[in-house]
Structure 1
Amino acid sequence: MAAPRIVIENCAIATVDGHDTEYASGHVVVAGNRIESVGAGKAPENLEQVVRRVDGTGHLATPGLINTHHHFYQWITRGLAQDANLFDWLVTLYPVWARIDEPMVYAAAQGSLAMMVRGGVTTAMDHHYVFPRGAGDLLGAEIRAAQEIGVRFTATRGSMDRGRSDGGLPPDFAVETTEAALIATEAAIDTYHDPSFDSMLHIAAAPCSPFSVSTELLREAAVLARRKGVRLHTHGSETVEEEKFCHELFGMGPTDYFESTGWLGEDVWMAHCVHMNDSDIAAFARTGTGVAHCPSSNARLAAGIARVPDMLAAGVPVGLGVDGTASNESGELHTELRNALLINRLGAHREKALNARQALRLGTYGGARVLGRQDQIGSLEPGKLADLVLWKLDGIGHSSIADPVAALVFGAAAPVALSLINGKPVVEDNRLTTVDEDAIARGTRHEAQRLARIVAAD
């Protein structure tokens, strides 16, 4: 018996395949959780088991957006330290984050995921590295929230083992011992990681950053991840202060330090990578190390402009990241398509830096490549998983732009008429179908206020 089919037709299509194939009016057929066919014109006649037909007139179909860097817990600390650089921002907020607990993280994950998914994200990622003692099952809370919404999820088990007494920034009770961090990371992999083709949940190992973890933790996490066959993630080369820190402490820049600890390779991706010289970019290209580009957060914290055009020209895998919503309060990835294009045009390459289709590729196939899932998601091609978005472009915000990809990238955030994840509708008419958005809004406000009261009482 044929798998149930969903047919979408009469829409513009940007496949983001290897040839950037586009159709002015075409169709996508989904069978079960796979894309069965994509092409021009109407869908094939006489298809069996068609459970739904969608008229996509005035819409654009694209692969679902893929977020490659985030910190969900920050949803309940938005709007703080508004005029700070990264280090001052961290000094201000670590004492706040050190008070989070399981209900807070669950609510924050719900808010973060709901905002992203409603805005076209079909694969989410989170880097959680704050584990205060006695706070509960924080990683499990995030995974539960992702499963309830129905999003494909890469959860990274982060860690820090350098508290304030060891020269780090966070309070000592918010960090772990090196051994405890490694044990917990391995347990998370064993409990949750699903390596199957259509997996809804991946786990990666993710010590926080060079200035919050020991060299031993970095080295041993890389060994652990490769023994377990999972990916590696961290922050890298985000600020000039980090560059200075690495030279003072290790006698080398961040990229050379990462390479000395086993942290360059096709199974590694790093967030930000703003301050990269030519040799750094060459090292990433040579080793296949990926980058999560977070333009809004980089601007919010005055970190600088990443050299994305140079990275792409060198062959570095690059995707987009929301980053935590304490440094990107919008909390959704469509903003990053637009800001990646606009902010990079302020750099040396000016108007030639990025175009609309390159920006869309960063947010789709580029993200899939960074997460090691380019064979499964990131483009609309037969055999790939049915993660796709139908964007409404015939409304007042977009109808006068003839090029639908330009309308999506240059224009205002486009309403999501339909989003499928693993072949299942999760957004209809710009509303989530799997959870109650209003209840999530109330829950996140309650937990943000509870956290603020706890901090105020300290």
Structure 2
Amino acid sequence: MAETPCDLLISNAYIYVDTDWEVPDGWIAISDGRIHSIGTATDEIPDARSRIDARGRLVTPGLINVHHHMYQNLTRSYAPVVNAGLFDWLTTLYPLWARVDDEAVYLSTWVAMAELLLGGCTLSSDHMYLHPRDGLIDAQIRASRDLGFRFYANRGSMTRSTADGGLPPVQVVQEPDVILADSERLIDAYHDPSPGAMSRVALAPCSPFSVTAELMSDTAALAESRDVRLHTHLAEDHDELAYCREVYGMSPVDYFDSVGWLQSRSWVAHFIYPSDDEQARMGAAGVGVAHCPSSNMLIGGGTADVARLRALGAPVGLGCDGSASTDHGSMWLEARAALTLGRYRGGSTAMTARDVLNIATRGSAACLGWDDETGHLRPGSCADLVIWTGSAMALAGAITDPVEAWLRCGPMSADTTIVAGRILVRDGQIQNSAASDIVTAHTVEARRIQGVAL
């Protein structure tokens, strides 16, 4: 009996399978949402129901975004704060963000995920930490399912309002018992620990200056009991360092340790201002770090020492951060920024395109605890992958190393983005008929939130 045909075959491509496996002039077969097999032109090519000729193009695992605030695309490039520091930026925007509801969150999440898909991202976390109304993460899950996007929801939280010496207004903070109860509800409803899951949930108090130590400790205990991951911002800003010393009498990393978060279940965003010893402690504990180069440079507050953290054993992934600080959702742009910033900081040998691709795939998957089946294209892994395209003019002469050319000779974009074996971007276009209506509705919501008349 003839073997059942695969669902899809991509041929004639340069395939970056994993850190130690690249296939020039190769093919890759997909069946039932998984990578079925990989080979070269000289191997027997399996039959397939559908084929894509990717001649002369690069195929990589889908990029994985490990830090984002999707709702913030409702206030992109907001004029009063384009040149503000972190704390001024937050205190100006918090009152606007307090206006979000489930419709605004659904639309902003849909737009963010579509933009990520166009930039070669197939799996993203999102740190939704303000909750002026109930059900906002439910709206995010609904958007991810409508698009077919693989999503790691982060149940964020804030308890310290301006009345308690914090930065956010009272409308966006919650009581600890409400936060913990909703965290359990979301885990029950949406956290799928099974292989090939399309949604998972992490617990994510916002930052040392927006929640209490008690909530941090209680959240760590809940994560342990329910076997879910932990995420927060850490060592992001000089003001945060001063806050921790004044309020807790210790550095952010010592505080992080004191509340039970210095463990491999955790990953943190930014991690710009630790000491050498603190970097070593984080690496030894296996705490992941989300590197967000564009946001760091635009806010102007420094950036993580990515090369050293990786050498110390810390998983380092890539994040595009909030769409009101980065103002875009392209993981390709973040990857290129990571390459150039890494070389600017550490010299010409400090970062290569392959280092960055490893960070954006394997490293990001490790931050999420999902590197067994995402972040690579080995047979049996999730069929989440990208066929990259660039203009003939931009790539003219780039004939010796397609992986280096991917970041050096851009701009590049996703010609085809596949999630769980489904083509969600084809010929550089989102394959969802709702896109135009979603963008129109999103504009209405953005104007409402920013107080701009229609």
Q: TM-score range by the shorter chain?
A: over 0.9
Deviation of 1:453 after TM superposition, in Å, equals 2.5
User: How big is the shift at 1:5?
Assistant: 2.5
TM-score, scaled to structure 1: 0.95
Deviations along 1:247-303, one digit per CA (max 9) or x if unpaired, are 121111111110110111111100011112211111111111000100000111111
- 1:211-264 CA distance string (max 9 Å, x none): 000000000000001101100000011111111111121111111110110111
Q: Tell me what 1:214 maps to.
A: 212
Partner of 1:419: 417
Alignment of 1:432-447 (within 5 A): 432-447=430-445
Query: C-alpha displacement at 1:346, in angstroms?
Result: 2.4
Structure 2 residue aligned with 1:62: 60
Alignment pair present for 1:383 and 2:380 = yes
2:34 corresponds to 1:37 = no
What TM-score do the two structures reach when normalised by structure 2? Answer: 0.96
Please, which moves more after superposition, 89-98 or 33-42? 33-42
Q: Is the 8 A contact 1:297 1:328 kept in 2?
A: yes
User: Residue deviations 1:427-451, cap 9 Å, x none?
Assistant: 1000111343322221211110111
Shift of 1:13: 1.1
Give percent identity, aligned residues only.
Answer: 40
Matched residues in 2 for 1:190 and 1:41: separation? 46
- CA RMSD, Structure 1 to Structure 2 (Å): 1.5
Unaligned runs of 5+ in 2: none
183, 191, 206: which one aligns with 1:193: 191
Aligned to 1:359: 356
- Aligned twin of 2:105: 105
Shift of 1:3: 6.6
Residue 86 of structure 2: aligned partner: 86
Question: Does residue 350 of the first structure (1) align with residue 347 of the second (2)?
Answer: yes
Q: 1:31–1:292: structure 2 CA closer, same or farther, 3 Å change rule?
A: same
**Post-superposition offset of 1:174:** 1.2
Classify the secondary structure of the residue corresponding to 1:10: strand
Q: Distance in 2 between matches of 1:319 and 1:201?
A: 19
Aligned to 1:372: 369
SS in structure 2 of the partner of residue 139 of structure 1: helix
Q: CA deviation at 1:42?
A: 5.3
SS at match of 2:25: strand
Counterpart of 2:358, as a letter, is R
Partner SS state of residue 275, structure 1:
coil
Report the equivalent of 2:14.
Answer: 12
Question: What code does the residue aligned with 1:261 have?
Answer: V
SS in 2 for 1:51: strand
Is residue 26 of structure 1 aligned with residue 26 of structure 2?
yes
Residues 72-119 of structure 1, C-alpha deviations (whole Å, 9 max, x = no match): 110101112100111110011111111111111111111111100111
User: How far, CA to CA, are the matches of 1:136 and 1:432 in structure 2?
Assistant: 30
Q: Are the equivalent residues in 1 in contact too, given 2:63–2:123 (CA < 8 A)?
A: yes
CA distance in 1, matches of 2:163, 2:67: 28
Q: Give the SS at the match of 2:451.
A: helix
Return the offset for 1:394. 5.9
Question: What is the SS of the residue equivalent to 1:292?
Answer: strand
1:449 aligns to 2:447 (yes or no)? yes
1:120 corresponds to which letter in structure 2?
G
Residue of structure 2 aligned with 1:299, choices 272, 297, 305: 297
Q: Deviation of residue 2 (structure 1)?
A: 3.5
Q: Residue by residue, what CA displacement relative to the aligned partner does 1:32-54 show, whole Å, maximum 9, x if unpaired? A: 11111123325624x35x11111
Q: Matches of residues 120-269 of structure 1 in structure 2 within 5 Å?
A: 120-132=120-132, 135-269=133-267
Amino acid of the structure 1 residue aligned with 2:386: V
* Deviation string, structure 1 residues 115-134 (Cα, Å, up to 9, x no partner): 001111100110001111xx
1:327 and 1:389 map into 2 onto residues whose CA distance is 26
Between the aligned partners of 1:187 and 1:435, the Cα distance in structure 2 is 32
**Structure 1 residue 305 displacement after superposition:** 2.2
Moved more, 428-437 or 361-370: 428-437
Question: Could you list the per-position Cα deviations for residues 2-57 of structure 1 after superposition, in whole angstroms to 9, with x for gaps in the alignment?
Answer: 4742111111111124x2x2122111111111111123325624x35x11111111
Q: Aligned partner of 1:15: which letter?
A: V
Give the AA of the match of 1:32: D
Task: State the shift of 1:136 in Å.
Answer: 4.1
For the residue of structure 2 that corresponds to 1:331, the secondary structure is coil
SS at structure 2 position matched to 1:124: strand
CA contact (8 A) 2:223 2:230 kept: yes
> Deviation above 4 Å: which 4+ runs of structure 1?
none
Worse overlay, 322-331 or 409-418: 409-418
Provide the rounded CA distance (Å) in 2 between the counterparts of 1:161 and 1:60. Answer: 46
Q: Contact 1:120 / 1:389 at 8 angstroms: preserved in 2?
A: yes
1:284–1:316 CA contact under 8 A, matched in 2: yes
Aligned partner of 2:397 in structure 1 is: 400
